[in-house]
A and B are shown apart, each in its own frame.
Chain A
Amino acid sequence: MKYALLIVLAFAGSASAYPQFQLVRDQTCSGCHLSPAGGGLLSENGLTNAESLSQWGTAPEFFYRKVPLPSWLALGGDLRGAGGFFVSNKDDRAPVVFPMQAEIYAAATFGAFSLHVTAGARDPQYQNETATLFASREHWVQWQQKPGEGEGWFVRVGRFMPVYGLRFVEHPYYDRRYGGTPLYGETYAAAVEYVDPTWEVHATGFIHDPILPDSVERGNGGTVYGEVRVAPQTSLGAEAKLDITPDDKTTYAGVVAKQAFGDKLLIQGDVQFVHHKIDAGGVENQLVSTVVGSYFIGPILIDLGLNVFHENLAYKLLDQEALDLNAHWFATSHLEVLLTNRFQMLAFGADGESSGYTLVQLHYRL
């Protein structure tokens, strides 16, 4: 059991953004990140937030500003690992320790154009570990209307995750796992995006990776995601995605809502309706829902999440639910300690055995 889990969960994490900060720290993801989608390298404002939020501060820049960088170059990275206790069913429980992420980020900016690269270790292919351990998960060329600012028009071409859903770093959340942005779901894409404190829209077309045919995203398609800040602490959004693989066609449509209460509490949710048509016969209509409440207590962030997935709305007892309780402690501007807990059920416990985990995760941002 132990060894199987070590294999299965190894590298089971890749950084996305921390949408818990939107509306309580800044209006947009690009207010703190160089990417209009959020995640990865932090902007000057993001670095300031990382320092001010953390317990003991420390210089938030790359290697504590000890490594001088030219003004056109930004470097960073994320290292993550976790250990804890995993309960697969009532008779099967085991301690686990596993690596999650070891990636370097780089962005080179020349006027309105920039090149962004994320590279490092990935979960290697079984019995092909040496050849597949290292990869570049993301690399894209970006043009932005207002260089150095986190708003305006953006155009991106390259390999990245299309903007869709809440985009939590916690990839087990159902709106990621079942809702169109699964772990390692990056692929080649082109996006036109507009970000403003009052509204944003992201339109992305993507294709199945022609270079790495074993990549997780198997289809061609597109996404549209839009969000309007109807009040300074209220945001409403809508989204759609079409994904066509050689085996099936999946259409997603959803709504997103985010409401902050002061600078301590944010509640956000994503509900998606998914129409899944299998070419050889069979149709599924599904519902995916993730609602997360986030509360800041000084350098500690508490997340309480409820996830629901209806595999096929035509039948009872095909739904599953997960309750997540996570506590992030931002010890320094680079070090985060995360206690993450999940309890997962089938049909609210009426069908099959429940499962869950308790893990302590260490996250070091370079």
Chain B
Amino acid sequence: MNVKCLFWLLVLAGCNLSTDHEDDRPATLQFITQAILKPSCGTATCHSAMKAQSNDVFDSVDGTRASIALHPELVTTCDRVIPPSTDNCAHDDDIQQSYLITVITQGDPEGDRMPLDQALSNKDIVLITTWIKDGAPGLEP
């Protein structure tokens, strides 16, 4: 193989090699942390243990657990609002009670959608939504 072919292969590596079937990835805290939050949110200068921006750490399973323990609103849904509230739960988007969903889809109160440098893919957002709707399993070690 000559060098030109090799370089074209390198470029073509970016082409779509994936298959397409139903998203059966595990909607668990461990998977979501390691597959989505760590590479997208837990980078060195953001929510790594080293930086711990806003005291949220997403580069390890223990870090995510501790962050949710500190900020339970990250995964709150209507049926888990304490005290119970119906203000924002009269419609179908009870998942919007979750601050995590809010910041990755709309943005924080200052309008910053997270991650700042690149939005999450819709598939990843749906998987996080499913996890939170399921009660955010995995919060206990």
Contacts and interface: CB of A to CB of B under 8 A. Distances in A.
Partners in one complex: yes
Interface of A: 1, 3-5, 7-12, 86, 88-89, 91-92, 123-128, 172, 177-178, 182-185, 212-216, 218, 234, 236, 245-248, 257, 259, 267, 269-271, 276, 278-282, 284, 287, 289, 291, 306-308, 310-321, 344, 346-347, 351-353, 355
Contacts of B98: none
A101 B72 CA distance: 35
Given A88-B117, A123-B51, A183 B43 contact: yes
A73 B28 CA distance: 53
Nearest to A5: B116
Given A183-B43, A216-B50, A89 B119 contact: yes
Contacts of A257: 3, 6-7, 10
B113 A216 contact: no
A238 B46 CA distance: 31
Contact of A355 (B21, B53, B111, B117): B117
Given A280-B138, A318-B124, A1 B31 contact: no
Nearest to A355: B118
Interface residues of B, number: 56
Contacts of A313: 17-19
A131 to B, nearest CB: 13
B19 to A, nearest CB: 6
Interface of B: 3, 6-7, 9-11, 13-14, 16-21, 23, 25-26, 28, 30-31, 33-35, 39, 43-46, 48-55, 59-62, 107-108, 110-113, 116-124, 138
Contacts of B112: 1, 4, 88, 92
A319 B16 contact: yes
Contacts of A246: 60-62
- Interface residue SS majority, chain B: loop
Contact of A125 (B10, B50, B113, B117): B50
Given A182-B43, A314-B18, A316-B20, A269 B121 contact: no
Contacts of B117: 88, 172, 344, 355
A319 B19 CA distance: 12
Contacts of B49: 213-215, 218
Given A5-B116, A281-B26, A311-B121, A123 B111 contact: no
A351 B20 CA distance: 14
A247 B46 CA distance: 20
A79 B120 CA distance: 33
B101 to A, nearest CB: 15
Given A8-B116, A280-B28, A315 B50 contact: no
B21 A126 contact: no
A294 to B, nearest CB: 13
Nearest to A259: B3
B126 to A, nearest CB: 11
A313 B16 CA distance: 9
A12 B45 CA distance: 6
A177 B122 CA distance: 21
B13 A177 contact: no
A311 B125 CA distance: 14
Contacts of A172: 117
